[in-house]
Amino acid sequence: MDEVAGAIADPVRREILVMLRDGRMSAGEIAGHFEISRPAVSRHLRVLRQSGLIRDELAGRQRFYVLDVEQFAELATWLTQFLRPSGWEHRLDALTTEIYRTRRERRTHRAANQGEGNTA
């Protein structure tokens, strides 16, 4: 996990990961999106490859880089402890609260009506 976290710490590498999310790309295609040198892009690709976040595939004489999402799993699992419950969980909690409130009001209303009926 430390290697993955270190790899995504750099904004250029994060941008490369976002680019590869849509499909495989060659180093030249990736480098074309940045104002840094091709050797610098190659170093970023090497870090990402060593962390296991991407892998390279050969197609003829060309090398393509592909996102390997399995390596994100451990980091994502660790990060979830810092996330707040989803909107659905909050909505379901609110629904549960409303159901209990409504039931309590109905019981109170019925008891009040029964009490009025006995006194008449």
| Separation CA 3–CA 37 (nearest Å) | 24
Identify whether the C-beta of residue 17 lies closer than 8 Å to the C-beta of residue 67.
Answer: yes
| Separation CA 25–CA 30 (nearest Å) | 7
DSSP state letter for 9:
T
Render pLDDT for 39-97 as a digit per residue (tens, 0 to 9).
Answer: 999 999 999 999 999 999 998 889 999 998 888 888 888 888 887 766 676 677 788 88
pTM: 0.65
Average the pLDDT over 90-119 and give the result: 80
Q: What is the mean pLDDT of the chain?
A: 86
